[in-house]
Structure 1
Amino acid sequence: MKKRIIYILLAGIATLAGKKVLDHKKKEAQVDHLNKYCGTWSFTDTSQTHHELTIHSDYSFWLDDRSLGTLLVEVTSEKLIVRDQYGFYLTFSYNDMLLYDEANDSAYLLSKKS
């Protein structure tokens, strides 16, 4: 009987430890997804005006040194989606290096500034 209780306790502890490790790895993966989006990106709009988009680690987007008042919607290794202060979505597709702006229904080719 004592052995059975010990086995049950050990199994419970192992399960909790495994869950803790998996949760930590998921958190690290999400941080890694965001880190590649952080930095300053440049693009040219349809009227040939040059812009700089800065993405900070707190998910905030700044366009030409002005905050867009963004709220994080989703971040994966392929895309980062935020909603701006007016309710429109901005989608950064990392694989294509495109920023889609729902407000203008336009996509812009991004290049990372060093």
Structure 2
Amino acid sequence: MGIAAVTSSLVHKHENKDLNQLYVGSWEFVHPNRQTKHTIIIYPDLSIILDGTAIIYQLIELSEQKLAIQDQYGYHLLIKTKNGIPDTLYDELDDLSLPLVSNN
């Protein structure tokens, strides 16, 4: 592996770490049909806890605009940002976009 490849790899890892930080935090949202309040917590390693339970997932996309995952049941969850702050959670299972309220 040449120096350019190593440097590129290190820069890519640094960029991913910065993108991870964009999504780190705790948010609440309300499911409109059930009127239930939920909490989602995202850690620096992008582990995700929903209402106290870890979500097992595959990362689909990580960008400044969204964090997209596919859960263990095959459904997609998208956390979209607005002005660099997580703003909306899209839940494919219920086909709903839910506003996120920060607990940070």
Q: Which has the larger radius of gyration?
A: 1
- The gaps in structure 2 that reach 5 residues or longer are none
What's the counterpart of residue 113 of structure 1?
A: 103
The percentage of aligned residue pairs carrying the same residue is 29
**For structure 1, which runs of at least 5 residues remain unmatched after alignment?**
1-15
Structure scoring higher RCO (CA < 8 A, sep ≥ 6) equals 2
Give the secondary structure class of the aligned counterpart of 2:89.
strand
Q: Per residue, is there more helix in 1 or in 2?
A: 1
Runs of 4+ in 1 over 3 A off after TM superposition: none
Amino acid at match of 1:28: H
The letter of the residue matching 2:46 is Y
Counterpart code for 1:103: L
1:94: which partner in 2?
81
Give me the CA root mean square deviation.
Answer: 1.6
**Partner of residue 54 from structure 2, selected from 62, 67, 90:** 67
Higher strand share: 2
Give the SS at the match of 2:9. Answer: helix
2:12 aligns to what SS in structure 1? helix
Q: Output the TM-score relative to the length of structure 1.
A: 0.77
| 70-79 or 82-91: bigger deviation | 70-79
Note the C-alpha offset of 1:43: 0.9
Query: How many residues were matched structurally?
Result: 99
TM-score by length of 2: 0.83
Q: Distance in 1 between matches of 2:79 and 2:57?
A: 13
Measured after TM superposition, the shift of residue 66 of structure 1 is 1.4
Q: Of 24, 33, 37, which aligns to 2:23? A: 37
